[in-house]
Amino acid sequence: MDYQNFLRLSVFSRIHPDHMPDVIAELDIRTARFPKNTVVLRAGTRSRRMGMVLSGSVTIQRLDYLGNRWLLGLSGRGEIFGETYALISREPMMVDVVANEDCEILYLDLSRIFFPDLMKKTWYAPLLQSLLHITAEKNLELSLHSFHTFPKTVRGRLLSYFKTQTLCAGKTEFDIPLNRQQLADYLNLDRSALSNELCKMRDEGLLSFHKNHFRLTPAGVAGLPVEE
């Protein structure tokens, strides 16, 4: 296993290279490849393993009994998924993780971080620090998702999402990681309604866009939600 590539991943970035073989063995680290649209983790199953994307990307989604899909997030290279369920392995998965494209996934057994012997390892504290930092980032992403779906109107949800993108990019021109269908699923909207509203906003001079590239005009920026 080429663990040198793993050191570029945020979860292992604090660990000395000499310790990686021991980390791989103790956490039972494995890798697997999945073609596009394959279910990586299925709702209803229980898992002790956290996943990390080595290449490609996965979507975290939920399907109801009518087949409606809610996109809760997208994890790209170096990002994790399933960490909460891995830490509380008695709880069944409430979401599906699906390969958004051909991807390679690294799995590590998080249940082992509670083993007393591992807590004595030199690499244990750096690994735990990285996991806590990454988990905090994921919690922030989930909070943002709830902010974006709180507004009752299509425009309100789009403006909430665009505000986050402008803050992250530090400018009013940015690319988003989602296509139209994924954006509609993420904001819990009908795709046609979302596309129609984007066209209205463009015609009103609030923004311009091409595929996943957006630019807000001064009028569009003025319409962004104001923090209380």
Torsion of the alpha carbons at 189, 190, 193 and 195, rounded to the nearest 10: 90
User: Exposed/middle/buried for 69, CB within 10 Å: 0-12, 13-18, 19+?
Assistant: middle
pLDDT tens, residue by residue, 205-228: 999 999 999 999 998 888 887 654
8 A C-beta contact, residue 58 and residue 98: yes
pLDDT per residue rounded down to tens, the chain (228 residues)? 556 667 677 888 888 888 988 998 999 999 999 999 999 999 999 988 999 999 999 999 988 776 778 888 888 888 889 888 888 878 898 899 999 999 999 999 988 888 888 889 999 999 999 888 888 888 888 888 888 988 999 999 999 999 999 998 999 999 998 899 989 989 989 999 999 999 999 999 999 999 999 999 998 888 887 654
What is the token pair recorded at 194? 């979302």
